[in-house]
Structures are given as structure tokens and as C-alpha cells.
Amino acid sequence: MTEASNFLTEQNAREADQRRADGPGFEGPYLVVENLHVSFPTADGTVQAVTDMSYSLEQGKTLGIVGESGSGKSVSSMAIMGLHDMKRTHMTGSIRVGGREIVGLSNNKMQSLRGGEVAMIFQDPLSSLHPFYSIGSQISEAYLAHNKVSRSKAKAKAVEMLDRVGIPQARSRVDDYPHQFSGGMRQRAMIAMALVNDPKLLIADEPTTALDVTVQAQILDLLQELQRDFNSAIIIITHDLGVVAEMADQVLVMYGGRAVEHGPTKELLTHPEMPYTWGLLSSVPDVTADTSGRLIPIPGNPPSLLNPPSGCSFHPRCPHRDKVPGDLCRTELPLLVEGTRGPEHLKRCHLANPDMIYETEVLPEIAPDLVDLTVADGADHVAPENR
């Protein structure tokens, strides 16, 4: 990093500290989502994209949101950013950012929040970056939207941020266009744009999609480093449980627009209590296993959000539904309640003894080499990144 970049970094850190000191004080988690419902009326009926979603996130912490495509992950996060067209969206519930309610907030007020206090890294940087404007001009525009500075200072800030996220020769590359950057460099440029105003909340929607393994590791390391520098709260949306295991403090599993399991990362990955979470873990390739072994996919397809199943939305695909007495799985929606291991681990399932079923039926199938060890010494199950 250049001497000028070091100076700018120190200056920006002082400015960020001053903004935090001058800003309105509040106690508790920086982000609080309560009973969020998001639906889209269509000609075929109402799409219930997100139903009764609640969670919170503190500054300096990371929440991983996982689930299959169509489970409502991106829709819920776009609601936080105020990116839904409210003429075509019905949204109820509460979203508080820094103690400020944003559901029902006007578009002008959301614009002052979006990109400043709250920022988002979108899934596809090539389609998210404008092809007719240089990378530097787009980062500068994001900075000018929230800071009364000259264009020359905004460009210097863009150079500093590109240097900060690891773009080589940032001063000369700042005038390049998106098509002149590789996929990994475009993703870094998106991160630079998201972080240019030192946001207190960063939402990363599949930040490592379509990147090779080396670049993925670099991007994740970069996010963790920047979180340490800016003390940002991070929501990371991903299909990759290895990414969640490495980065997240808490995990929220979504299915059919609802939260089905939520808890501390290690606890949830080593003692999952929801059959859908078991299915996600079973689908993770085991690099140490016999190459002739088969992955264990979740049977069937995700539910239609136009006509969701009655009862538990996962019951048509659940191989354990017959272990529940009567017809509860098919007729009654389970509540998101405290699991068997404490109040921080929540599950939405009618199974009364999920731990026993996981240890005696699921674990022997997905990781048979761990079963004897677990039974012998009571050790924790091994998280997917260590399998």
C-alpha cells in the first residue's frame, strides 16, 4: 500500500470514528428483523417469498444465511436494503437498522441510508456494474452520494479503496471499465464500492459465486480483514456450508420462505436438529471419502411459494416425517422453538428426539468414520470443513 493510501486510510478511520461518535446512540443489536413478511401479488396468485422472519445481528458479528435457491434468502436481504418495488410488493413487520425503523420509510430517506450505513455486495458483479462507466467513476459516485467532497477527492478515495481490496496498480486501473477486470477483480471492485462509506452493515449475496477456489479464499479473507478494520456487521448469503463454517458466528437456515433452524455456527453444524439441515450437510462433498462414494441429495424439489404445502413445508421431502406421531407434519406448521441444547439454538420441527436420530441414522450415512469416535468419547461432531 502506498504512503498516500496509508494516510487516506488513517484519515478515513478518524472520520468514521467521528461519524460514529456524532451519530444517534442506541443499545442492542445493530440490525433487528421482527416478523418480516414479504409477498408479491401475481396473476397466478400471491408469492409468499418471506414469512414471519425474525433475527438480530450485532456490529462486528457475521450471520450466515443458507438454503436452496428460492428459499427467500435474497428477498429478505433486499428488504433490508429497501430495494423492492413497493408498488408490486406487500411487506409487513419490522426492520430496525441502528435503532431506526425502515419499513415504510420513504425512498428519499432510504437512499440516504443505502450505500452509507447499509451496503450490499451483489451476486453478479458484471451485471451490477455499469458497462459504460469506469470502475473509478462508479466508486466515486457512491462516495459523492454521501459525502460533500470534490470529484478529485472522490477519485482519490476510489483509488485508495481499490488499493485496499488488493487491486494491483490501483492508480492506473481506476479508469478501466468492468469488462477489463477479471471476475475476481470485479468482485473486489464491488467490495470496494460497498465499503467506500464505511457501512455499519454489509450484506454479501453469494460473494464467491463463479470464482475459483484461490480467489474465493482471498475474498473471504478480505471480508474478514475489513470487518476487523470497520467493525461492520456482515450478512453472508451462500450455498457453501464451508464458507459459513469459516466466517459466520451465527447460521440461519431458510426453507420455503421461513427460518427453519437458527443458532451459533459450531453448535448448528455439529448438532443440527432439523432434517432439512441434515440434508444440506449430507450434500456437502467429502474430500477424504472414497472417490466411488455418492453424494446424498435431498429428494424432490423446493416447494412452490405460490401454493406452499400444508403443515411443515419440508414434509413432502422429509424422510423422517413418519417418526412424528399422528399426522402433525402434514397438518400443523411447527413453531420455531428452543432446541434440545439451549435457548440460542432454535428449530422448526415436530421431531421430539432429533439428536438421537441424527447420531444413529444420519451421521452413520454421511460420516461413518466419525460415529465410533463420537460414541466412544462424547466428542463433538466435526464441522463440514473438517470432514
Q: What is the pLDDT of residue 377?
A: 42
Residues whose CB is less than 8 angstroms from the CB of residue 107 and which lie 6 or more positions away in sequence, other chains included: 82
Mean pLDDT by 10 residues, the chain (387 residues): 42 45 62 96 94 95 94 93 92 94 89 89 84 95 93 95 90 95 88 89 85 80 85 91 91 96 94 94 72 75 92 95 92 93 92 91 77 49 46
Q: What is the pLDDT of residue 382?
A: 45
- Of 101, 94, 87, give the one whose Cα is nearest residue 36: 94
- Of 134, 246, 119, 273, give the one whose Cα is nearest residue 192: 119
Q: What is the pLDDT of residue 108?
A: 86
For residues 225 and 4, what is the distance between their CA atoms, to the nearest angstrom? 20
- Delineate the domains of the chain, giving CATH numbers in brackets: 3-251 (3.40.50.300), 266-386 (no CATH)
- The secondary element (H helix, E strand) that includes residue 204 is strand 201-205
Q: If phi over 0 gives left and psi between -120 and 50 gives alpha, with beta otherwise, what is residue 253? A: beta
